[in-house]
Amino acid sequence: MRAQNLAAHDKMLIGLEDVYSPLNFGGIIAAAGYEQLRNGQPNYGTDRGAFGERLGAAGIRDTAQGVFTDAIYAPLLHEDPRYYVEGSQYSLLHRALYAVTRPVITRTDSGHATINAALLLGYVSATALNNAYYPPVNRNVRDNAEAFAGSIGGSALGFFLTEFTSSLWGNLHFGHKQ
């Protein structure tokens, strides 16, 4: 069964819904907290103010990724930005591998598998934008590559969690539509 095609406007709305979802805010807080604990990039220090700066940077980065990926590149490249849960009819290994490969593999608007160029280009664009608001010490190739790789890893983790928590939320009737 093929999903209904999305217009460019619909892709933009999906991106904005994802960016401003409560679960996404949790991810932004977790990312900022992790970098605060390890005193990672962006290198703002370790005091309370540094956490606020990291939180703001994580919010800007995540918003930029969502806009570039879903609102700009997905419509231009005719890619479907939605994640399709495989579900319990598949083995745990299949579902895990499927989820963690979604940052690099997606579906076209016509339903065929393709390289997830919208996400990859969106993350590259958002990483380049980091240089506008990250401290000068983090504006280099190594830190940009680390930020990009971290975003891909975070995306894989998010897809993994979506794959394995979707049935839980459905059973609890969160997001369950009648």
pLDDT < 70: residue spans in the chain: 1-2, 167-178
pLDDT score recorded for residue 169: 59
Describe the strand order of the beta sheet including 79-80 as a list of residue ranges: 79-80, 105-108, 113-115
Kindly state the tokens that stand for 91. 């083995």
Question: What does the domain layout of the chain look like in residue ranges?
Answer: 8-171
CA dihedral angle for residue 38, residue 44, residue 46, residue 48, rounded to 10 degrees: -130
pTM reported for the whole predicted model: 0.87
| pLDDT tens readout for residues 37-74 | 999 899 999 888 999 999 999 999 999 999 999 999 99
Where in 29-142 does DSSP place strands (E)? 79-80, 105-108, 113-115
